[in-house]
């Protein structure tokens, strides 16, 4: 029997195991991708009243939701806490657990400090609370910047060909999509600050450039991004996070309606892209030609 063929793989089995992550993981990638940049926006806009307050609460809620999704995927809460017993800088999974814990703690503390400061009249406690809020807000922004991008590092460091081939691109892609989603969500809850539109516009431009680069790349490992159901989902997600919101924001000018449509597009595309990349990973693992370096049909 031919031990390695395009039709049968290795002794009739696929060379790689397809990812076994359930829906909670791509959902966690999306929620964490929104929460991380929201913490950055909150830290930068810390004196801009309701914008900073809402960004802090989005970050805090996203941090808690991310932890809940990850624990649900693991099956039992103690498995998550067991991951915190080991600190391995060379392991994206280990570092991700610590990053999520740090982010969830600091973002929740920032949101609570802000809520307390709004209700305290005495000047001295307010100064103490403001100092605590500044520290936790800064730490949350640092952890948030890593949370928004490390998931791309996590899947890029695996043996799945389509993920590994984009190891450098995925963190940028996830970070840009997350930034656009955070700015879009803040727009949808009622904020029309010009910097939010500029952030979302920059994120859409980066996403457009990323998917244009993927379209031109002839690497056979990228086949699941261009064919089949996963390919369709990837390119639809790319359209929704890149060219469509970019065009809407450029052509719509200061129109609130067009900005809202662009915001919905960015959020929908960002969510879809996480699930699409997971589907592409499964398709890539099931194709024996790529890991065996066999030519295409």
What value does the mean pLDDT take over residues 190-203? Answer: 93
Using only C-alpha atoms, the chain has a radius of gyration, in whole angstroms, of 21
Closest CA to 34 of 169, 141, 175: 175
| 205-211: average pLDDT | 96
What are the counts of helices (DSSP H) followed by strands (DSSP E) for the chain? 11, 2
For the chain, how far is it from start to end, CA to CA, in angstroms? 20
**Spatial separation of the C-alpha atoms in residues 170 and 222, rounded to whole Å:** 13
Within 8 A by CB and 6+ apart from 7, the residues are none
Q: What count of other Cβ atoms lies within 10 Å of the Cβ of residue 17?
A: 12
Bridge partner residues of 13 (DSSP): 10
Q: Which helix (H) or strand (E) holds 9?
A: strand 9-10
240 in Cβ contact with 266 (< 8 Å) = yes
Mean pLDDT on 50-72: 90
pLDDT bracket for residue 269 (50, 70, 90): very high
Percent above pLDDT 90 for the chain: 53
Measured between alpha carbons, how far is 110 from 132 in angstroms, rounded to an integer? 8
Q: Is a pLDDT exceeding 60 seen at residue 153?
A: yes
> 275 vs 286, which has greater pLDDT?
275
| Residue among 57, 23, 49 nearest 182 (CA) | 57
Within 10 Å of residue 40's Cβ, how many Cβ atoms? 23
Give which of 274, 276, 275, 271 is closest to 227, Cα–Cα.
Answer: 276
Tell me how far apart the alpha carbons of residues 276 and 268 are, in angstroms, rounded to a whole number: 12
Q: Phi-psi bin for 127: left (phi > 0), alpha (psi -120 to 50), beta?
A: alpha
| Structure tokens given for 255 | 């129109």
**Higher per-residue confidence, 266 vs 117:** 266
Domains of the chain, each with CATH number or no CATH: 14-286 (1.20.1630.10)
Q: What per-residue confidence (pLDDT) applies to 292? A: 47
Q: Could you tell me which residues are beta bridge partners of residue 9?
A: 5
Contact criterion met (CB below 8 Å) for 199 and 275: no
pLDDT at 47: 66
- How far is residue 220 from each of residues 129, 261, 289, measured CA to CA in Å? 55, 35, 9
Contact 132, 111 (CB under 8 A): no
């Amino acid at each position: 029997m031919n031990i390695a063929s395009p039709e049968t793989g290795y002794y009739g089995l696929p060379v790689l195991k397809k990812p076994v992550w359930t829906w909670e993981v791509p959902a966690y990638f999306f929620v964490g991708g929104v929460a991380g940049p929201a913490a950055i926006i909150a830290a930068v806009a810390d004196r801009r009243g309701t914008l900073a307050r809402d960004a802090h609460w989005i970050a805090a809620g996203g941090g808690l939701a991310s932890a809940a999704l990850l624990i649900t995927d693991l099956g039992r809460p103690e498995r998550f806490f067991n991951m915190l017993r080991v600190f391995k800088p060379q392991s994206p999974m280990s570092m991700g657990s610590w990053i999520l814990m740090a982010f969830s703690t600091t973002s929740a503390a920032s949101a609570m400090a802000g809520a307390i400061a709004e209700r305290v009249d005495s000047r001295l406690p307010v100064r103490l609370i403001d100092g605590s809020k500044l520290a936790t807000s800064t730490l949350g922004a640092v952890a948030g910047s890593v949370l928004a991008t490390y998931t791309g590092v996590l899947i890029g460091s695996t043996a799945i060909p389509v993920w590994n081939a984009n190891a450098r691109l995925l963190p940028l892609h996830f970070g840009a999509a997350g930034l656009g989603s955070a700015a879009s969500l803040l727009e949808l809850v009622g904020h029309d600050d010009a910097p939010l539109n500029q952030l979302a516009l920059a994120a859409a431009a980066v996403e457009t450039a990323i998917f244009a680069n993927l379209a031109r790349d002839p690497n056979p490992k990228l086949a699941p991004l261009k064919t089949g159901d996963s390919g369709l989902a990837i390119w639809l997600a790319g359209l929704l996070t890149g060219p469509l919101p970019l065009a809407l924001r450029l052509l719509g000018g200061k129109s609130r309606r067009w900005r809202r449509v662009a915001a919905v597009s960015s959020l929908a595309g960002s969510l879809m892209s996480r699930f699409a990349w997971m589907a592409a990973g499964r398709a890539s693992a099931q194709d024996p030609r790529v890991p065996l370096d066999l030519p295409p049909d």
